[in-house]
Amino acid sequence: MRQLVLKYSFLLLGVSGMVSLPSCDNNFEEINTNPNAVSVPTAKYIFSKALYDGASNSGNKGNLLFGLMQYTTSYNDVEGFGSKYVASQVNATGSVFSNSYPAQINEIGEVIKAVKEDPAKVNLYAVARIWRVYCFSRLTDLYGDIPYSEAGQGYNQSIFQPKYDKQQAIYADMLKELEESAMALDASNTTTFGSSDLIYAGDVTKWKKFAYSLMLRLGMRLTKVEEATAQSWVKKAIAGGVIRDYADIAKMSYTASGQNINKNPVAWQLLNDNYIKADGVSNVEGGKYQQVFIDSLKANNDPRLGVLAVVYVDGVASSDESIQKGMPSNINGNKPDDFVSYSEPKPSTVLRVDAPLLLFTVAEADFLLAEASLRGWYTTETASALYEEGIRAAMKQWDLISGTTNVIDPERIESYVAAHLLPTGSSVEAQKEQIYTQFWLGLFPDAQEVYNNYRRTGYPNLVPNNYPGNATGGQLFRRFLYPVLEQTLNRTSYNDAITNQGADDLMTKIWWD
């Protein structure tokens, strides 16, 4: 199935118009009709492509959020932008926006258009709406105000300069969409996307849990700006049923062969940027794990260290925990003499191109529920029990990524949990700090979701890199920049967004922040 996806791709007009031609006919249409083209798009194939693109287009890249959340760095200012905030590279942050609208946003819109009017396809419509929320949530969380209600309507409604909706309105609509879609899913209706659904293979019960899990995620996002609204949606999500079982984890499946779109996008990006030669020296962009991340793993005797990291010794990858070492983020331009001695991602886990990409995990649900418990919004389980289960789940999920059972010794997991108990006698704030420090460790490599919660909670307590020539005054930036082309192709809407949200600047806070 995956090999067929691109055969059924088609042109989706978004921001460009159509050219008028003279009316001279002379059988032009007949002569120029491709007999092998698909005139009516097939929803299930477009849905698969929308899943691939939605999972791929994110801030989870070495030169963006991997660096900012202090997982990786580079001596190269381009690849090291995320860890150095170099002023000359700020426009790299516009890439997620630029890549998303022509791809998954247009694609999932076409799926919805194809199925929404057919009552027999209620499950297809609901699932497509849930995925649309996932895609838009990842975009608005990076940029703030974005084209939403008019997005992807170039072909359908000739809207080539869509307005930017306010993030507050976007969030209200996304949460409404999740609620309606979850309620509409019908397990007795056997019409699903089936094998074209690369996340749950058509299992609507699991899609419902994913919908309520996203509701939990987005509801918690509102704690700084609309606490009562946050509480209401979090309680709805819990009542609906979020992902708590290992088998229900929302994950995209990939293969090691075929087209590159079929490969885990995070692993593939990291490999091609730096690690494909696997010798510890020939890293094209100079990438390595950052000192902050490796030091934290080592200092806490974290059993993930040997699962995530290797150092090349005489050309051979070693997972020996005692020799792991992270590279400082303040190295300025020149490859250090001891470059080979720094840790980098392990080929059989982080760089495994046929590993699933985890979109929402048991660990994330447990950590968010732990905070909800601290707030008194969830009383069935204690914050400490949820926090401990979150740590266990975060370690256990590496079985999925590595394809190996008990890749982390269960006894070491329990020892780690015992050594990192939640300080229940301390303040709520101190407990939140510990929860979201474990969130930082446990959700890797989903740096974007860690970034979102960092901005909301302030944790983990990362020390910014005041690198020469940085664009932020030595602070971790708060949002991504809109693509430069928006200032030309969609100027009025772009200017309206600036008026509402503030300067198109890395340090301008988005609404929920």
* pLDDT higher than 60, residue 2: no
What are the tens digits of pLDDT across the range 289-322? 999 999 999 999 999 999 999 999 999 999 999 9
What are the tens digits of pLDDT across the range 228-262? 999 999 999 999 999 999 999 999 999 999 899 99
Residue 295: predicted pLDDT? 98
* pLDDT higher than 70, residue 390: yes
Long-range contacts made by residues 407-410, C-beta under 8 angstroms, separation at least 24? 407/307, 407/349, 408/303, 408/304, 408/307, 409/303
> What does the DSSP assignment read for 347-386?
TTTTT-TTSPEEEE-HHHHHHHHHHHHHTTS--SS-HHHH
Residue 384's alpha-carbon distances to 266, 295, 380, 388, in angstroms, are: 32, 25, 12, 6
Residue 152: predicted pLDDT? 87
* pLDDT higher than 90, residue 449: yes
What are the tens digits of pLDDT across the range 161-217? 999 999 999 999 999 999 999 999 999 999 999 999 999 999 999 999 999 999 999
Report how far residue 438's alpha carbon sits from residue 207's, in angstroms, rounded to the nearest whole number: 27
Q: How many CB atoms lie within 10 A of CB 95?
A: 16
**348 close to 436: Cβ distance less than 8 angstroms:** no
Residue 354: predicted pLDDT? 97
**Of 245, 287, 253, 254, which is closest to residue 270 (Cα–Cα)?**
287
* pLDDT higher than 60, residue 481: yes
* pLDDT higher than 50, residue 434: yes
Domain count for the chain? 1
Torsion angles phi and psi, residue 376, rounded to 5: 80, 15
Helix (H, G, I), strand (E, B) or coil at 345: strand
* Residue 475 within any structural domain of the chain: no
* pLDDT higher than 60, residue 336: yes
Give the predicted TM-score (pTM) of the model: 0.93
Place of tokens 């192709």: 489
- Ordered alpha helix ranges (H), 225-328: 227-240, 265-270, 291-299, 305-308
Residue 155 belongs to what domain range? 1-16+41-56+86-242+482-513
Residue 155: predicted pLDDT? 77
Torsion angles phi and psi, residue 151, rounded to 5: -70, 145
* Res. 33 pLDDT band, cuts 50 70 90: low
* Residue 122 within any structural domain of the chain: yes
Residue 22: predicted pLDDT? 37
* Residue 185 within any structural domain of the chain: yes
* Residue 127 within any structural domain of the chain: yes
Give the contacts of 104 (CB within 8 A, at least 6 positions apart): 50, 51, 53, 54, 57, 135
* Residue 340 within any structural domain of the chain: no
**356 close to 252: Cβ distance less than 8 angstroms:** yes
- Ordered alpha helix ranges (H), 397-505: 398-402, 410-419, 428-443, 447-457, 486-489, 491-501
Question: Can you tell me the mean pLDDT for 125-142?
Answer: 98
> What does the DSSP assignment read for 458-488?
--S-PPP---TTBSSSSS---SPPPPTTHHH
* Res. 13 pLDDT band, cuts 50 70 90: very low
Residue 61: predicted pLDDT? 86
Residue 500's alpha-carbon distances to 144, 495, 506, 508, in angstroms, are: 10, 9, 16, 11
Q: By mean pLDDT, which of 39-48, 288-297, 381-390, 492-501 is the weakest?
A: 39-48
Question: Strands 316-318, 344-345: parallel, antiparallel or unpaired by DSSP?
Answer: unpaired
Average pLDDT, the chain: 93
Report how far residue 461's alpha carbon sits from residue 223's, in angstroms, rounded to the nearest whole number: 19
* Residue 95 within any structural domain of the chain: yes
Q: What angle do CA 166, 171, 173 make, to 5 degrees?
A: 100
* Res. 38 pLDDT band, cuts 50 70 90: low
* Residue 91 within any structural domain of the chain: yes
What are the tens digits of pLDDT across the range 69-112? 999 999 999 999 999 999 999 999 999 999 999 999 999 999 99
Q: For the sheet with 344-345, list strands across it.
A: 316-318, 309-313, 344-345
* pLDDT higher than 70, residue 435: yes
The domain that contains 513 carries what CATH number? 1.25.40.390
Question: Can you tell me the mean pLDDT for 352-375?
Answer: 98
Q: By mean pLDDT, which of 22-26, 122-126, 341-345, 488-492 is the weakest?
A: 22-26
Report how far residue 187's alpha carbon sits from residue 203's, in angstroms, rounded to the nearest whole number: 8
Residue 16: predicted pLDDT? 34
Report how far residue 75's alpha carbon sits from residue 494's, in angstroms, rounded to the nearest whole number: 34
* Residue 332 within any structural domain of the chain: no
Torsion sign across C-alpha atoms 148, 149, 154, 156:
positive
Residue 9: predicted pLDDT? 38
Question: Strands 146-147, 344-345: parallel, antiparallel or unpaired by DSSP?
Answer: unpaired
What are the tens digits of pLDDT across the range 396-410? 999 999 999 999 999
* Res. 39 pLDDT band, cuts 50 70 90: low
Torsion angles phi and psi, residue 146, rounded to 5: -145, 160
